[in-house]
Amino acid sequence: MTMKDHTSQSEINDEMRAIEAEARARVDDGGAPELHPRRNYPPYRSSILRHPTHELVRVDPEEVELFSPAFGHTDVNVLESDLTIQHRGEPLGERMTVSGRVLDGEGRPVRRQLIEIWQANAGGRYVHKRDQHPAPLDPNFTGVGRVITGENGEYSFTTIKPGPYPWRNHLNAWRPAHIHFSLFGTAFTQRLITQMYFPGDPLFALDPIYQSITDPAARARLVGTYDHDLSVPEWSLGYNWDIVLTGPKATWMESEEAHD
């Protein structure tokens, strides 16, 4: 819970007893016993906000293989790499292409690598209920995309440049504009997360996350490079950013506890 709950233990106990009595009454009336916890169980306060609101979709156990996550070209549509065409209208902001390669420490391409990105919109706001700062939401921009790297480790996304946003680390703290990158190996448990920044951002010197990397060269590897050859005439600006997974020039990756 983000807010302090002043409910006493005795009140919680009363709520639990009331639910138990109601469930027992249903069984006494001929209903089936509840063998699993209720998704909406008010004594468990956070379940009030995060439980599903629709019945679960029941599928044949053998057919679930057809829809479960897989790694390869079969489950990632090529259109998913363009974050500007996911809605009926066009998103607001500076359209751009972000391209690069995923490499190992020896400079060899990492092929068939699943990459996911997520980002704030041009106003610096995420499509997430926890993001409540008063920047506008864009109905034509969700801010998520994915792609699988090619034979040379290459990837490319079309998106809009995200805006900076405030965070409550300290008074008047603002995060530089960035895109989150998530890279998978052969399973969801093999996941690395990092961030790409944009050149010349005046917030670099003020951002504790960026400045926590004490080596200037390592910090610089998080900043994409403007590449005019990647820019599409009358359409988008181009940025190049390579991701190195291992070795002394590896791209910095977030810890599992990182949130911003």
Whether 39 sits among the annotated catalytic residues: the reply is: no
β-pair type (243-244, 95-103): parallel
First-residue to last-residue Cα distance in the chain: 19
Burial state string for 103-137 with b = 16 or more CB within 10 A and e = fewer than 16: beeeeebbeebbbbbbbbbbbbbbeeeeeeeebee
**C-alpha separations of 208 from 2, 27, 228, 253, 257 in Å:** 23, 57, 31, 15, 15
Q: Write down the catalytic residue from 101, 146, 178, 221.
A: 178
Q: Write down the catalytic residue from 180, 197, 210, 239.
A: 180
Q: Write down the catalytic residue from 101, 125, 175, 221.
A: 175
Q: Write down the catalytic residue from 95, 101, 126, 221.
A: 126
Whether 178 sits among the annotated catalytic residues: the reply is: yes
Q: Write down the catalytic residue from 95, 125, 165, 197.
A: 165
Whether 180 sits among the annotated catalytic residues: the reply is: yes
CA distance 145 to 166: 23
User: In the chain, which ranges are continuous DSSP H helix?
Assistant: 9-28, 47-50, 208-211, 216-220
Whether 165 sits among the annotated catalytic residues: the reply is: yes
SS3 assignment, position 238: strand
Question: Which residues participate in catalysis according to the annotation?
Answer: 126, 165, 175, 178, 180
